[in-house]
Chain A
Amino acid sequence: TQLLEQSPQFLSIQEGENLTVYCNSSSVFSSLQWYRQEPGEGPVLLVTVVTGGEVKKLKRLTFQFGDARKDSSLHITAAQPGDTGLYLCAGARGSQGNLIFGKGTKLSVKP
């Protein structure tokens, strides 16, 4: 069974701090997607990474896909209260790319 382990599960930091969220697996994925989910809503896509070693930036968010395509990280620089939310990683597998999700990292940024 393919699993994606996310860490930490919970993270509470002060505004302006930096943080990194990790997503690890023993399995190789064809791509990995990061989503943000608000309570009672659907996951909203942040980024898709496809190539091993790939780095993508989205304003203060930096996403990296591991060289072996088994792990990924999300780094947020100078976190803002608006970054508060649940961050999910999801790896694509199968012939149609169905996603395996991690449990998520619940981030709280205090002003």
Chain B
Amino acid sequence: EPEVTQTPSHQVTQMGQEVILRCVPISNHLYFYWYRQILGQKVEFLVSFYNNEISEKSEIFDDQFSVERPDGSNFTLKIRSTKLEDSAMYFCASSSAGVRADTQYFGPGTRLTVL
């Protein structure tokens, strides 16, 4: 069964450093998402991406964040200058149908630890 994959599974970085989190969505999906989950809190939407551009973003997704689909398979989230409060699990998700949400399938997550 097709699945969303994410690398790395765990990333440790120093405050102020740049990190890139990588995702390979399900191959025939068109809509891509990033969410995050701070330890003990609920999953929060960051950004959605369709047709090679951002379609929606939350207040969390400030200028420190960017997303890219550099080729036909990868979808990346970059945090330019990490802060302590960026420590969280970051989940990538994809779906084939957007709003009538055919369903979003989530990857296993990247645990980001900012020291």
Contacts and interface: CB of A to CB of B under 8 A. Distances in A.
Contact of B109 (A42, A98, A99, A100): A42
A48 B103 contact: yes
A3 to B, nearest CB: 10
A101 B101 contact: no
Nearest to A44: B106
Interface residues of B, number: 33
A73 B109 CA distance: 27
Contacts of A48: 101-103
Contacts of B33: 96, 98-99
Given A42-B91, A97-B95, A92 B42 contact: no
18 contacts: A40-B89, A42-B4, A42-B91, A48-B101, A48-B102, A88-B43, A92-B99, A94-B48, A95-B98, A96-B50, A97-B98, A98-B58, A99-B35, A101-B42, A102-B42, A103-B41, A103-B42, A104-B42
